Amino acid sequence: MAAFPCPRSIFSILERVEEGPALRWLQDASRTANLIDTVFSVEREATYNHVLRSFEILNGVHVFTLEPASAPAGREPFCDAQVEEAVKLQALYFSQCTRAVKLSTPVLAYLRREVHTYCRNLNVLNGEPLHSVLFISPSFTPSSASLIDPFRDAGMIIDPSAHQMGFQETISCAAEYIRDKFNIWEGHSVVPLGSHLREFQVDFLRYHRSLDEYNCEFRLEVSIRVICNILFRQLEDKGGARAIMDLEQREWGQFLEGLRLRLEEGLRRLRAQLDGIDFSTLSEEDRHDQEEELMSLHNKEGYIRMMALVRDTLS
């Protein structure tokens, strides 16, 4: 879970704003990162259909051997029990930054208006490959509208896949992010929130790909649907974004734990459904029919409403 950030530099940038709104926004940013971290960590644990066969350290870098699972999740764990948690997380999150941003987008789309937050997808160029993260800034500061340089503006970086590079924190002050996290930085690019997710969904529906590519994209899309349905209901039942952000700390912890349990239940059920397709002897046509049926099953109010909010961010 992301820790509450105490970035001194952001206070210097926010010095023109009253302390109350600034502190409130920092709590909102921290809780937003908590929500995103909960969503992505549960999704990785529950649905990732690969296993860690081995790992080694070469020149200070972990090198993983990941292979497709050869049996359903209940019969083949992701890794051996003796693997350290930090290594397990690094392997689970390996090369998953863009996926993390796509999964996080509905969360931010739901929260952004009521918590006065300006959001963007941010690609950091640090050699190959680039690293995708999320930039958020308070909408009550003038710099949030221009976003000329997110690493100088009053904002935070939410990095849902931070564990893949050995980072412990999933939220950092934007002005300090590059200095503290990267040895190599070749620049960055900024696109509107929702761009990665929208591009993925358009391509998923439009283009013919290999079976492996389709299977990966199908699993992402149906995971997004399950997550949105659970998340929307939990947030609405608590009174919406502002009510969630204003919860007392004890109530906030209880809400987050309850959300985690419901996500685990829903995504593990989904994994069982996906395994039922993957490890069957179905023909390609029958397999496709079951996938379409699964997509329709999860095309519910939460997904529909949250995707409408994502589209609003791009309009």
* Residue bearing tokens 């349905």: 229
pLDDT for position 15: 54
Q: For position 122, what pLDDT does the model report?
A: 81
CB atoms within 10 A of CB 204: 15
DSSP codes, 117-142: EEEEEEEEESSSS-EEEEEEEETTST
Q: What is the pLDDT of residue 111?
A: 92
Q: Is the pLDDT of residue 8 over 60?
A: no
Percent of the chain with pLDDT over 70: 83
Q: How confident is the model at residue 142 (pLDDT cuts 50, 70, 90)?
A: low
Interacting residues of 269 by C-beta distance below 8 A, sequence separation 6+ = none
Average pLDDT, rounded, for the chain: 84
pLDDT at 2 over 60: no
Per-residue confidence (pLDDT) for residue 67, from 0 to 100: 93
Task: Output 187 or 73, whichever has higher pLDDT.
Answer: 73
pLDDT value at position 221? 93
User: Residue 4 above 90 pLDDT?
Assistant: no
Give residue 191's pLDDT.
81
Q: Which two tokens stand for residue 192?
A: 């509107």
Largest CA distance in the chain: 64
Dihedral angle over CA of 223, 311, 175, 184, nearest 10: 60
pLDDT (0 to 100) of residue 66: 92
Cα dist. 199→103, 204, 311 in Å?
Answer: 13, 8, 12
pLDDT tens readout for residues 200-227 = 887 776 665 556 667 788 999 999 999 9
Give per-residue pLDDT as tens, 102-122.
999 999 999 987 887 878 888
- What value does the mean pLDDT take over residues 32-56? 93
How far from chain centre, in Å, is Cα 131?
A: 13
Q: What distance in Å separates the CA atoms of residue 186 and residue 7, rounded to the nearest whole number?
A: 24
Q: Residues 162, 94: contact at Cβ < 8 Å?
A: no
Bridge partner residues of 125 (DSSP): 187
State the pLDDT at residue 6: 42
Higher-pLDDT residue of 34, 181? 34
Cis peptide bond N-terminal to 106, omega within 30: no
Higher-confidence residue of 313 and 263: namely: 263
Total count of residues recorded for the chain: 315
Nearest CA-CA partner of 97 in 167, 149, 35: 167
Q: Which residues on neighbouring strands pair with residue 122, listed in sequence order?
A: 133, 190
Which pLDDT belongs to residue 194? 83
With beta carbons less than 8 A apart as the criterion, state whether 259 and 231 touch. yes
Q: How confident is residue 270, by pLDDT bands cut at 50, 70 and 90? A: very high
pTM: 0.88
